[in-house]
């Protein structure tokens, strides 16, 4: 008999190479110190180096990256493809994501013009015309998660909102869609919530009630600590296929997802980190179909 009362399967994996642009669904990925390989390694910034997201520029959802062996290819409606070498950067720079100043590298004028041309079309009212830049995180820079939530362990990120990995169960989305349908709204896809790891085999929001998951990853097993509920901004209201916004998702979440752990903030999904000892290797192999087991906490 299993020592665990929660048995799940990794059903989907996503990385988001450019913060707030479309994700890339994978069958397998390396899990490195900062999260899944290439996750939020790039970011769009304004002239002051401040990060931009779908909050201000919903059209970012329409920028679709494709990861190849030596390059990332970006496509967007009405634009020629932009090819970004995986092993090349240009000038060092300083940028800001939330309250963190980070060392980064500018990706050059061609990329800057491509993002400016696409994202400054049909911008929201009140958003001025800006010259945008694409930057890449400097891997020598250490950006750590808030230790209030990491149990004293250093958990590093690149340009994510603050934690290495986001976990959501299929059942949580199914529950939301049942509520939307009952209210006369269309169902939504998991892409709105931008998880890295999607789990099947759980009840709705079991991820909220689990402290850690034991993941069987080939020859290497490891524990994923579920450390902080993910507070939600308006991005789930953006349709990832059209970049159009409508309020029904956020409004529905407000009716049942206020989280006392975050003073009533609306949450959906759990931020996570690998639980490890300093001497343990970090390049872990994640794949769809691997099992994840844990103990429920009530």
User: Domain 6-296, what fold?
Assistant: M1 Pyruvate Kinase; Domain 3 (2.40.33)
pLDDT of residue 220: 80
pLDDT tens track, the chain, 298 positions: 468 889 999 999 999 999 999 999 999 999 999 999 999 999 999 999 999 999 999 999 999 999 999 999 999 999 999 999 999 999 999 999 999 999 999 999 999 999 999 999 866 667 777 899 999 999 999 999 999 999 889 999 999 999 999 999 999 999 999 999 999 999 999 999 999 999 999 999 999 999 999 998 777 888 999 999 999 999 999 999 999 999 999 999 999 999 999 999 999 999 999 987 655 667 799 999 999 999 998 6
120 phi and psi angles, rounded to 5 deg = -85, 0
Q: Tell me, what's the pLDDT at 37?
A: 96
Q: Report pLDDT for 218.
A: 73
| Res 221: pLDDT | 86
Q: What is the pLDDT of residue 1?
A: 43
Full-model pTM: 0.95
Q: How many CB atoms lie within 10 A of CB 135?
A: 30
Half-sphere exposure of 12 (CA within 13 A, CB side): 19
pLDDT of residue 273: 95
What is the torsional sign of CA 13, 58, 55, 37? positive
Could you tell me which residues come within 8 angstroms of residue 94 by beta carbon, excluding any fewer than 6 positions away? 49, 101, 102, 103, 104
């Amino acid at each position: 008999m299993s020592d665990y009362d929660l048995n799940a399967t990794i059903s989907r994996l996503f990385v988001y190479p450019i913060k707030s642009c479309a994700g890339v669904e994978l069958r397998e990925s390396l899990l490195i110190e900062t999260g899944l390989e290439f996750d939020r390694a790039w970011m769009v910034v304004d002239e002051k180096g401040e990060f931009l997201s779908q909050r201000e520029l919903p059209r970012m959802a329409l920028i679709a990256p494709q990861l190849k062996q030596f390059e990332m290819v970006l496509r967007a409606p009405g634009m020629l493809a932009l090819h970004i070498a995986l092993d090349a950067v240009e000038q060092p720079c300083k940028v800001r994501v939330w309250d963190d100043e980070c060392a980064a590298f500018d990706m050059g004028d061609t990329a800057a013009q491509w993002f400016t041309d696409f994202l400054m079309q049909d911008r929201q009212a009140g958003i001025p015309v800006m010259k945008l830049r694409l930057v890449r995180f400097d891997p020598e820079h250490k950006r750590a998660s808030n230790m209030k939530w990491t149990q004293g362990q250093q958990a590093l990120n690149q340009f994510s909102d603050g934690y290495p990995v986001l976990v959501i169960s299929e059942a949580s989305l199914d529950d939301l869609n049942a509520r939307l349908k009952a209210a006369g709204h269309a169902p939504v896809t998991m892409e709105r919530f931008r998880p890295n790891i999607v789990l099947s085999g759980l009840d709705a929001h079991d991820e909220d009630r689990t402290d850690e998951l034991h993941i069987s990853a080939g020859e290497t097993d490891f524990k994923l600590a579920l450390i902080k509920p993910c507070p939600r901004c308006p991005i789930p209201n953006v349709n990832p296929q059209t970049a159009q916004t409508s309020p029904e998702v956020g409004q529905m979440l407000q009716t049942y997802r206020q989280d006392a752990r975050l003073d009533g903030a609306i949450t959906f999904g759990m931020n996570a980190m690998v639980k490890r000892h300093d001497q343990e290797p970090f390049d872990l192999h994640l794949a769809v179909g691997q099992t994840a087991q844990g103990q429920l906490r009530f």
